[in-house]
Amino acid sequence: MVLENEPIPFGDWIAPALLFFLQAAGILALLALVGGYLIAAFRYGPLDGGDRVFRFLKRGLGDLIALSPRRVMALAWLAVQESLRRRVLVGFGVFLLILLFAGWFLDTDSNDPATLYISFVLTATTYLVLLMALFLSVFSLPADIKNKTIHTVVTKPVRPGEIVLGRIIGFSLIGTMLLALMGVFSYFFVVRLLNHTHEVEVASLEPLPGGSSDQRAGRTEPEHSHRHEVTLEADGTGSTNTVNGHWHEIDPVEDGDETRYVLGPPRGMFNARVPEYGELRFRDRSGAAVSRGINVGNEWKYRSFIEGATLAAAVWRFDGITPERYGDSLPIEMTVRVFRSHKGDIEQPIRGTLKLRNPRNIGIESAVEVFQAKDGTVNPIEIPRKLTTPEGRTIDLFEDLAPEGELEIEMQCLDSGQYFGVAKADLYLRARDASFQVNFIKGFLGIWVRMLLVTSLGVMFSTFLSGPVAMLATLAALVLGTSTGFIFDVAAGTVEGGGPAESFIRLVQQKNVTVQLEPGLTTDVVKAADVVFMAVMTSVTSLLPDFGQFDSVEYVAHGYDIPPDLLLVQVLSGVGFVIAMFAIGYFFLRMREVAR
């Protein structure tokens, strides 16, 4: 996986996030209070108005205390019944249909079918569940008000907050149930469709050249559009090489007087790697230490670049390198982005080198190992325990290079005029693997949190908007929440073409985004309008959760363990958001004359 953002550690996130939450809540509450008082004072006079606001607050507190789990669950149960009545299960049917046809159009030829399949099912699940959450949450309360069924409910001792909360919980229960079903089906879909074995092509077996006398090598028959090379030991057991992200074990089976070689199920296809990250420093072309490398343009901001055939280098420093943890070799995986300043020989990959060094004793280092960079793909390298120095002396990885458990890995680019781009997370130690199944569930938890966000957002809007309008509002919030980065960029003026008004003018006048608008009154007005637009949009956006942060599909699909910190951040921001939606929904529902 090529990360484009580094996940924030939970410890760094929680304090500012909590502060932001409290700030936003405080400001919103203050605005509501002042606005409420002004309206009340205007309608009932300053004294009576103040009294009304005070009673409103007092009763709000009372309502919170009187919140009854039984009532909330009754309303949640009603929401569940309503959803079932509205045939949510059809959504699940659609999902099964999608899975059924997915087998046809998903490409088993792909050189990473697991990634393709997993990201497909997770994405399909996400869209379906979010769509369903949207439809359920947004139409329920307006329909209840329109049918006047709400009249018999609010004339019971039901607090407005219970109506909001009951709906959020009810629809989330339905969503959870659907997600669980989809999760189970997705899992078996992926595992079953990618499961396969091969026959060993017995005729191809020959003594292994250069191997010990009774080892044999050959290949398998093709299956799922690929075949493997096989290596068999004297006793007939063996293994295949890794193709399309997996390999097989081989066992001999006596069948009468011949021996057949049977391949097991694919191995190593579904992973949940737990990367161990180090600290990254750079050296510039003259070899001086710098904190960042070269910037080759905005699109590439996340990574720093080192120039080929100079002294420029990227240096990672790792901790905790012990034989207890890593055994006989150090598995590292790396990704580089290649930036060519000239075409060079386009057929030839750009080459780079890796070197290991003892950070406490600069003199002790390994000889360079040359690698060929494939742009943006993960390249696994197994570093053996016994290494040689540039002078040809044998050294031990743990004893000589990392006696204190600390190790530096230095990367350089060999080809002149070409650049390697790297970030901290691009070279890591693959310390261990977590369970894929658990990771799969964690991925679904990310979808679950998003479902919760959409549901609470939809219910909140439906307390004061009609169904279709609430749906549009929720969709708008989703779009804003998914494109936070872009919106802040537009507001900062770093995006060509300006804000919505200017873009509209450009669209109508068929002007390219880089063409200067004619100076004059119209242009000034348009630009001023955009300033207002963007002020509103940024303030709304900054209140919305960044939806991108809940997307952990990539992690699961590319076989990386979802960091527990990320999961915690997701769940906590989800819960915080639901609380906020609950409060706003309560406010609007209480202000509302439901019998109108």
Query: Which single residue is written with the structure tokens 């700030």?
Result: 23
- DSSP label at 361? S
Q: How many Å apart are CA 456 and CA 449, to the nearest integer?
A: 11
**Residue of the chain from 40, 53, 78, 526 that contacts other proteins (CB under 8 A):** 78
Smallest separation (angstroms) from other proteins to the CB of 88: 13
Using the minimum distance from each CB to other proteins, give the nearer residue, 72 or 445: 72
Bridge partners (DSSP) listed for residue 238? 232, 250
Tell me the closest approach of the beta carbon of residue 170 to other proteins, in angstroms. Answer: 12
Q: Are 282 and 307 in contact (CB under 8 A)?
A: no
Looking up tokens 């990386």, which residue turns up?
560
Q: Is the distance from CB of 150 to CB of 116 less than 8 angstroms?
A: no
Which of 2, 8, 153, 296 is in the footprint of other proteins by CB under 8 A? Answer: 153
Q: Sheet containing 407-413: which strands, arranged edge to edge?
A: 289-290, 279-283, 313-318, 407-413, 350-357, 369-373
Q: Which is nearer to other proteins, 240 or 463 (CB)?
A: 463
Nearest approach, Cβ of residue 512 and other proteins (Å): 42
Q: Is 433 helix (H, G, I), strand (E, B) or coil?
A: strand
Closer residue to other proteins, CB minimum distance, 160 or 275:
160
Site for other proteins in 41-70 (CB under 8 A): 59, 62-63, 66, 68, 70
Using CB under 8 A, pick the residue from 40, 49, 82, 312 that binds other proteins: 82
State which residue, 54 or 486, has the beta carbon closest to other proteins: 54
Comparing CA positions, the residue from 266, 97, 83, 275 lying closest to residue 191 is 266
Report in angstroms how near the CB of residue 132 gets to other proteins at its nearest: 18
Of 173 and 381, nearer to other proteins (C-beta) is 173
Judged by CB, which is closer to other proteins: 153, or 378? 153
Nearer to other proteins, 151 or 393 (CB): 151
- CB 83 to other proteins: min, Å: 11
Contact call for residue 147 and other proteins (CB under 8 A): yes
On whether the CB atoms of residues 389 and 366 are closer than 8 A, the answer is yes
Q: Which residues contact 380 (CB under 8 A, 6 or more apart)?
A: 331, 332, 333, 430
Distance CA(264)–CA(198), nearest Å, equals 9
Residue 102 Cβ, how far from other proteins at the closest point, in Å?
Answer: 34
Q: What is the Cβ-side half-sphere exposure of residue 404, based on CA atoms within 13 angstroms? A: 10
**Interface of this chain with other proteins, residues 157 to 186, rule: CB under 8 A:** 157-159
* Residue 554 contacts other proteins per CB under 8 A: no
What is the distance between the alpha carbons of residues 338 and 557, in angstroms, rounded to a whole number? 23
Least distance to other proteins from the beta carbon of 74, Å?
3
Q: Binder to other proteins among 5, 149, 241, 388 (CB under 8 A)?
A: 149
Residue 536 is which amino acid?
V
> In the bound complex, what is the minimum distance in angstroms from residue 378's beta carbon to other proteins?
52
CA distances from 448 to 462, 514, 574 (A): 21, 41, 10
Contacting other proteins (CB under 8 A), which of 24, 25, 154, 414? 154
Are the beta carbons of 168 and 581 closer than 8 angstroms? yes
Tell whether residue 71 is a contact of other proteins (CB under 8 A): yes
Q: Find out whether 336 and 415 touch, Cβ atoms under 8 Å.
A: no
Q: Give the contact letters, 99-128, x = binds to other proteins (CB under 8 A), - = no.
A: ------------------------------
CB nearer to other proteins: give 152 or 494. 152
Q: Which is nearer to other proteins, 35 or 485 (CB)?
A: 35
Asked if residue 383 lies in contact with residue 299, where contact means CB atoms within 8 angstroms, the answer is no
CB nearer to other proteins: pick between 81 and 539: 81
In angstroms, rounded to a whole number, what is the distance separating the alpha carbons of residues 467 and 306?
A: 55
How remote is the C-alpha of 549 from its chain's centroid?
6
Among 23, 155, 225, 237, binds other proteins (CB under 8 A): 155
Residues of this chain that interact with other proteins (CB under 8 A) are 59, 62-63, 66, 68, 70-71, 73-75, 77-78, 81-82, 85, 147-159, 593-596
